[in-house]
Amino acid sequence: MTDDQKKEQPPILVARDQWSIPVSSVQRTLADGIKAFVTRIRQSTWLEDSPAQDAEKLKPLSKRRLARWTPPPEWNRELAGFADAIDSWQQRWADTQPVSFLVAPPFTGVQTSLETLCRDRGWKLIEPPESYSIHRAEDAQKWWSQFEGDTPWVLPELAHCWLRTPTGLRLIRRLLGAAASGELGKGIVGSSSWTWKYWSHLMPELRFAVLTPQAYDHARLGQWFRDLSQYQSQTEVHFRLTTNGSWVVTPLDDAHKNGSNKRAQKVSTFLRDLASWSRGIPEVAWAVWRDSLRTEPEDDLDEAVLQDGSDCEGDRASEKPKAVVNGYQHGWVIPWSQVSLPSLPPGESRPLAFLLHSLLLHGGLDNERLEITTGLSADDVGICLHSLRRAELVTSHARGWFVTPKGYPAIRRYLLSEGFMVDGF
pLDDT at residue 25, as a whole number: 58
Reported as half-sphere exposure (CB side, CA atoms, 13 A), residue 44 has a value of: 2
Domain ranges of the chain: 20-71+217-338, 98-208, 350-418
> Is-contact 102 10, C-beta < 8 A?
no
Q: Is 355 helix (H, G, I), strand (E, B) or coil?
A: helix
pLDDT at residue 43, as a whole number: 38
Confidence of residue 352 (pLDDT cuts 50, 70, 90): very high
Strand pairing category for 328-333 and 293-295: antiparallel
Fold of 350-418: Arc Repressor Mutant, subunit A (1.10.10)
CATH 3.40.50 for domain 98-208, yes or no, is: yes
User: Which residues are CB-contacts of 349 (< 8 A; sequence separation ≥ 6)?
Assistant: 384
Q: Is 394 helix (H, G, I), strand (E, B) or coil?
A: strand
What average pLDDT score do residues 169-197 get? 95
Higher-pLDDT residue of 29, 284: 284
Which range is least confidently modeled, 31-45, 100-114, 208-222, 260-274?
31-45
Q: Which amino acid is at 383?
A: I
Burial of 266 (0-12, 13-18, 19+ CB in 10 A): buried
Tell me how crowded residue 348 is: count the other CB atoms within 10 A of its CB. 8
Q: Is the pTM of this model over 0.75?
A: yes
Tell me how crowded residue 326 is: count the other CB atoms within 10 A of its CB. 8
**Which among 202, 117, 214 is positioned nearest to 156, based on CA atoms?**
117
Confidence of residue 49 (pLDDT cuts 50, 70, 90): very low
Q: Is 105 helix (H, G, I), strand (E, B) or coil?
A: coil
Per-residue pLDDT tens digits for 58-111: 899 999 999 999 999 999 888 888 999 999 999 999 889 999 999 999 999 999
Which range is least confidently modeled, 2-16, 64-78, 282-296, 337-351?
2-16
What average pLDDT score do residues 296-325 get? 49
**Which among 144, 141, 198, 134 is positioned nearest to 169, based on CA atoms?**
134
What average pLDDT score do residues 304-319 get? 42
**pLDDT > 60? residue 220:** yes
Percentages helix, strand, coil for the chain (3-state, rounded to 5) are 50, 15, 40
Confidence of residue 400 (pLDDT cuts 50, 70, 90): very high
User: Which residues are CB-contacts of 265 (< 8 A; sequence separation ≥ 6)?
Assistant: 39, 43, 259
DSSP per-residue letters across 19-78 = --PPPPGGG--HHHHHHHHHHHHHTTTTTTTSPPPPGGG-EEPPHHHHHHHSPPP-TTS-
> Is-contact 412 406, C-beta < 8 A?
no
Q: Which amino acid is at 206?
A: L
Confidence of residue 266 (pLDDT cuts 50, 70, 90): confident
Higher-pLDDT residue of 310, 156: 156
Strand pairing category for 124-125 and 153-155: parallel
pLDDT at residue 324, as a whole number: 58
Confidence of residue 251 (pLDDT cuts 50, 70, 90): confident
**pLDDT > 50? residue 305:** no
Which range is least confidently modeled, 80-84, 106-110, 158-162, 216-220?
80-84
> In what helix (H) or strand (E) does residue 189 lie, and over which residues does it extend?
strand 187-192
Distance CA 342, CA 29 (A): 30
R_g over Cα of the chain? 24
